[in-house]
Amino acid sequence: MNNSALDDLSINTIRFLSADMVQKAVSGHPGAPMGAAVMAYVLWQKFLKHNPADPAWTNRDRFVLSAGHASALLYSLLHLTGYDLSLDEIKQFRQWGSKTPGHPEHGLTPGVEATTGPLGQGFGNGIGMAIAERWLAARFNKPDHTIVDHYTYAICSDGDLMEGVSAEAASLAGTLRLGKIIYLYDDNNITIEGNTSNYFSEDVGTRFRAYGWHVIGPINGMEINEVEAALAEAHEETEKPKLIICRTVIGYGAPTKANTGAAHGEALGEAELAAAKKNLGWPYTEPFFIPEEVRRNMSAVEAGKSGQAQWQSIFDAYTAVYPEEAVKFKSFIDGKLPEGWNEGVEAMFKPADKPLATREASGKAMNLLGKKVDNLIGGSGDLAPSTKTVLEFDTIFGAGNGAGRNLQFGVREHAMGAICNGLALHGGVIPYCATFLAFYDYMRPPVRLAALQGLRVIFVYTHDSIGLGEDGPTHQPVEQILGLRSVPGLVTLRPADAAETAVSWEMAIERRDGPTALVLTRQKVPTIDRSGMSDVGLIRKGGYILWQSDADPRVIIIGTGSEVHLALEAGKKLKDMGISARVVSLPSWEVFDSQPEAYRNEVLPPQTWRRITIEAGRSLGWERYAGPRGVIIGLDHYGASAPGNIVMEKLGFTAEHVIQTAEYLSRQGDG
- 3-state SS string for 305-333: HHHHHHHHHHHHHHHHHCHHHHHHHHHHH
How confident is the model over 485-494, as pLDDT tens digits?
Answer: 999 999 999 9
Q: What is the pLDDT of residues 193-203, one digit of tens each?
A: 999 999 999 99
pLDDT band for 84, please (50, 70, 90 cuts): very high
Report how far residue 415's alpha carbon sits from residue 420's, in angstroms, rounded to the nearest whole number. 8
Q: Would you say residue 371 has pLDDT above 80?
A: yes
497 contacts 358 by C-beta, under 8 angstroms: yes
Q: Does a structural domain hold residue 276?
A: yes
> Who's near 295: CB < 8 A, 6+ residues apart?
80
Q: Which pLDDT value is given to residue 668?
A: 86
Q: Do the domain assignments include residue 286?
A: yes
Containing H/E element for 129?
A: helix 121-140
Q: Report d(CA 96, CA 118) in Å as an integer.
A: 21
- According to the annotation, is 522 in a ligand binding site? yes
Buried b (16+ CB within 10 A) or exposed e, 63-102: bbbbbbbbbbbbbbbbbbbbbebeeebbbbbbeeebbbbb
413 is catalytic: yes
Q: Side by side, which strands form the sheet with 491-493?
A: 406-408, 376-380, 430-436, 458-462, 516-519, 491-493
CATH number of the domain at 554, please: 3.40.50.920
> What tens digit of pLDDT does each residue of 335-353 get?
999 999 999 999 999 999 9
On the question of pLDDT at 670 being above 80, the answer is no
Give whole-number Cα distances, 220 to 38, 80, 109, 249, 332, in Å: 10, 25, 31, 10, 42
In this structure, is the dihedral angle defined by the CA atoms of residues 429, 435, 439 and 442, taken in order, positive or negative?
negative
Say if residue 406 carries a ligand binding annotation.
no
CATH code of residue 468:
3.40.50.970
- Asked, for residue 327, whether it belongs to a domain, the answer is no
527-563 tens-digit pLDDT: 999 998 889 999 999 999 999 999 899 999 999 999 9
Does residue 432 sit within a domain? yes
The reply, when asked if residue 50 is annotated as ligand binding, is: no
Same domain for 167 and 45, yes or no, is: yes
DSSP H or E run through 399: none
* Per-residue model confidence as pLDDT tens digits over 108-144: 999 999 999 999 999 999 999 999 999 999 999 999 9
CB distance 365 to 348 below 8 Å: yes
- The reply to whether 567 and 498 lie within a common domain is no
Question: Do 295 and 366 share a domain, yes or no?
Answer: no
Query: Are residue 148 and residue 224 in the same domain, yes or no?
Result: yes
My answer on whether 566 and 502 are in the same domain is no
Assess whether 564 and 617 both reside in one domain. Answer: yes
pLDDT digits (tens, 9 = 90+) for 446-483: 999 999 999 999 999 999 999 999 999 999 999 999 99
The whole-angstrom separation of Cα 442 and Cα 459 is: 13
Pairing state between β 631-633 and 611-614: parallel
pLDDT over 70 percentage in the chain: 100
At 391-418, the pLDDT tens digits run: 999 999 999 999 999 999 999 999 999 9
End-to-end, the C-alpha distance of the chain in Å comes to: 88
Alpha-carbon distance of 610 to 557, in angstroms, equals 9
The answer to whether residue 340 sits within a structural domain is no
Q: Please identify which of the residues 413, 500, 506, 563 carries the catalytic annotation.
A: 413
How, if at all, do strands 190-191 and 194-195 pair?
antiparallel
Pairing of strands 611-614, 555-559: parallel
CB 17 within 8 Å of CB 76: yes
Please compute the mean of the pLDDT values over residues 645-649 and round it to a whole number: 96
Is 593 a residue whose pLDDT tops 60?
A: yes
Is 359 annotated to bind a ligand? Reply is yes
Q: Which of 253, 277, 303 is the last residue of a domain?
A: 303
475 labeled binding residue: yes
Residues 6+ apart with CB under 8 A from 599: 541
Question: Which of 162, 61, 79, 80 minimizes the C-alpha distance to 120?
Answer: 162
Average pLDDT of 13-40? 98
Same domain, yes or no: 514 and 572 = no
Does residue 310 lie in a domain region? no
Which domain range does residue 571 map to? 540-667
User: How do strand 214-220 and strand 242-247 relate by DSSP bridges?
Assistant: parallel
> Is residue 671 predicted with pLDDT exceeding 70?
no
Q: Is 119 annotated as a binding residue?
A: yes
* Residue 330 placed within a domain: no
Q: Is 190 annotated as a binding residue?
A: yes
State the Cα–Cα distance between residues 610 and 613, nearest whole angstrom.
10
pLDDT band at 275 (very low <50, low <70, confident <90, very high): very high
Q: State the pLDDT at residue 666.
A: 87
| Residue 93 assigned to a binding site | no
> Could you give the 3-state DSSP secondary structure of residue 470?
coil
Neighbours of 298 (CB within 10 A): 21
C-beta pairs of 318-322 under 8 Å, 24+ apart in sequence: 318/142, 318/145, 318/147, 321/142, 321/144, 321/145, 322/142, 322/145
- Average pLDDT for the chain: 97
pLDDT digits (tens, 9 = 90+) for 280-326: 999 999 999 999 999 999 999 999 999 999 999 999 999 999 999 99
- Residue 331 inside a domain? The answer is no
Give the integer Cα–Cα distance in Å for 361 and 389. 11
Our count of domains for the chain comes to: 3
Does one domain contain both 509 and 588? no
Helices 121-140 and 323-334 meet at what angle, rounded to 10?
160
Largest CA distance in the chain: 94
Q: What pLDDT score was predicted for residue 39?
A: 98
Q: From CA 536, how far away is CA 532, in angstroms rounded?
A: 12
My answer on whether 274 and 360 are in the same domain is no
Q: Are both 352 and 226 inside the same structural domain?
A: no
Residue 209: CB atoms within 10 Å = 15
Interacting residues of 590 by C-beta distance below 8 A, sequence separation 6+? 485, 490, 491, 492, 542
| Burial of 305 from C-beta contacts in 10 A (0-12 / 13-18 / 19+) | middle
Closest CA to 651 of 660, 659, 642: 642
The torsion angles phi and psi of 152, rounded to 5 degrees, stand at -115, 120
Quickly list H helices, 577-654.
589-593, 597-603, 623-626, 644-650
SS3 state of residue 245: strand
**Is residue 244 domain-shared with residue 141, that is, in the same domain?**
yes
- Whether 445 has a pLDDT exceeding 60, the answer reads yes
Q: Which of 85, 92, 82 is nearest to 20 (CA)?
A: 92
Domain shared by 497 and 354, yes or no: yes
